[in-house]
Amino acid sequence: MTMSTLHTITTHKKYRELLAEWAADNTDDRNQYKSGPPIPDAIVLVAFRTRPPNDGEVELFDAPLDDEETDDEGQVDDAGHDHGLRAKKQPPVTRPVPKIPAQRPPEVFMCGVTARPRRMVVHVPNMTWKGAGLLHKSYPADVCFGPDATNEEVYDQTVKTPGLIELAVQGGVACVIAYGQTSAGKTYSMMGLELAIAQDLFPLLPVDDTGTTQFEVHVTFLELLGNKARDLMRADEVGKNIEIREAETGSVYPALQSTQVESAKELEDIIVRCLGHRRTAQTSRNAKSSRSHAILTILLKNKTPGGAGGEIILVDLAGSERHADSKKHSAARFQETRDNNKSLLALKDCVRAHVSGAALVPFRTSKLTLLLKPIFDRKTSRPETHCRHCARVATYPGRGAQRKYTWVCVTVQGDMLGPMVGVFWS
C-alpha cells in the first residue's frame, strides 16, 4: 500500500463509509488485550502494534482528494464526536495541523490498519466493476495493540505475561525483536520495554540468606549498520567499528565493553545514554530515523557455583524501507537502506528456518543473524566462559536451556505486516 493509497483510504468518502460499515460489523472486544486474554505458552509470541498518527500525518490523512466533496461542517458521528475528517477546500499546506481530539476513535484516523484481539486487519482499497471497495486482510497474531495502547500495556503482554525475565533468571535466553517499516514506532516501543525491564529485573533476582543477590547483571549495547558494528557504551569511541568474532566454543563475541549494573537506575541511565549515541538521520518519513539495528544484551551471571546464567536480548531493528521511502536518499543513505534490507532478509530466512524446525539455520549469512546466534542455534549453549577479546563475562545457559522470543511487529501501513507474518506461518 503506497502512501497515496493510504491517502485514498483516509480521505475518500466512499472508503470512509466502507470502513465505518466494517467497524460497525466488527466490534469484537476491541480492547480485549487489556483484560489479558490467555496467550499460548509458545516459544515465539507474535505481537502487532500500530501507532497514532504524528502531526504531519494527521495533516496528510485529513487532506482532501481533488474530487472529494468538501464539507465545512466536518463529520460528526452519532455520539457527536468530531472524527477529525474535516475536508477543507484549501490545500493542506495552507492550513494549520489539526489537533487530534482525545475521543477520536482509533480506526478512523489510523484506518490503514485496525487492531483486533489476535488479529491485525489491513484495509486495502480495491476497485471492481461495482466501484470502490475495501478488502479486509486479517493477519493472525498472539496479541495486537491499537494506537491507543500504552507502552505499559505492550510490556505487560509481551514481556511480563510470557515471563521473559523469569526465563532469563532460570538460565534461559529471552529475546524481544521489534520489526517494522521505518517510522512505525519500533524505537518508541523498544525503549518503553527496555526501561520497564530495567525496573522489574532487580526485584526478580533471587537473593541468598544474607540478602545478597545471586546474580551479577552485565550490559552491552551494540549498533550494527550493514556489517559494521559499533559500541554504543563507549562515548569516547562511538565512531569506531568493532570486531565480531566467533570463538571455537561457538559463542559469538563482539568486542564490546560490558558494564556491570547494580540497580534499575544505573541500567536505565545506560539505556538512555546509549540510545543517545545511536546514529539517526532525517528521512522523508521520520525526522529522527535510526539508521541501524540496536542490540541491548542483559547478561545475568549466576554467582552460585554451577548455577546457570541467562540473558535478555532486546533488538530494535532498523526500519525496512521500500523504494518509495528511499527515493530522496543520498547515495550513502541509499547504501544504508540496502545493507539494512539485506540483513532483514537474512533474518527472515533464519526465522523461517528456525520456525520450520530446519536442521540448519543460516545465521552466518549476516552479522545481524550471527549476533543473534544464541536465539537461533540450539547448540550454541556453552558453560560459563570468559571472553578473550573483551572483558565481557559470557554466561550461557546449559544445553537444552529454554528460549523464548517475542516479535513486536510495528506498522503504520498494513502491507508491511505481510512479509513478516508469512515467515511465521509459511
Report how far residue 195's alpha carbon sits from residue 136's, in angstroms, rounded to the nearest whole number: 35
The residue to which cell 474535516 is assigned: 86
The verdict on 366 binding ligand ATP (CB under 6 A) reads no
286 part of the interface to ligand ATP, by CB under 6 A: yes
Site for ligand ATP in 207-236 (CB under 6 A): none
52, 74, 92, 418: which one contacts ligand ATP (CB under 6 A)?
Answer: 52
Q: Binding segment for ligand ATP among 5-13, 34-42, 224-232, 287-295 (CB under 6 A)? A: 287-295
- Give 170: exposed, middle or buried? Use CB within 10 Å, 0-12, 13-18, 19+: middle
DSSP character at residue 340: H
DSSP label at 68? S
Q: Is residue 289 at the binding interface for ligand ATP, with CB under 6 A as the rule?
A: yes
Q: Output the DSSP codes for 183-226.
A: TSSHHHHHHHHHHHHHHHHHHHS-B-TTS-BSEEEEEEEEEEET
- Taking each helix axis from N to C end, the angle separating 55-62 and 3-11, rounded to the nearest 10 degrees, works out to 60
257 is annotated as contributing to ligand binding: no
Member of 8, 32, 54, 326 binding ligand ATP (CB under 6 A): 54
Of 46 and 390, CB closest to ligand ATP: 46
Residues 132-191 that bind ligand ATP (CB under 6 A): 180, 182-188
Q: What is the largest CA-CA distance in the chain?
A: 77
Nearer to ligand ATP, 158 or 187 (CB): 187
Nearest-CB residue for ligand ATP: 319
8 is in an annotated binding site: no
Single out the segment in contact with ligand ATP by CB under 6 A; choices: 51-59, 94-102, 201-209, 327-335: 51-59
182 is in an annotated binding site: yes
- Asked whether the CA dihedral 27, 80, 59, 316 is positive or negative, the reply is negative
> Is 79 annotated as a binding-site member?
no
Residues β-bridged to residue 82:
76
411 touches ligand ATP (CB under 6 A)? no
Tell me how many residues contact ligand ATP (CB under 6 A): 18
* CA–CA–CA angle 184, 188, 193 (5° rounding): 125
Helix (H, G, I), strand (E, B) or coil at 424: helix
Rounded least distance, CB 320 to ligand ATP, Å: 8
d(CA 406, CA 196): 15
Kindly tell me which residue out of 290, 297, 406, 413 binds ligand ATP, with binding defined by CB under 6 A: 290
With cell 526478580, the residue in question is: 204
Q: Is 348 in the site for ligand ATP (CB under 6 A)?
A: no
Q: 304 and 311 in contact (C-beta within 8 Å)?
A: no
Closest distance to ligand ATP from the beta carbon of 55 (Å): 9
Binding-site residues, in ranges, read 180-187
Binding site for ligand ATP (CB under 6 A): 51-52, 54, 180, 182-188, 286, 288-290, 318-319, 410
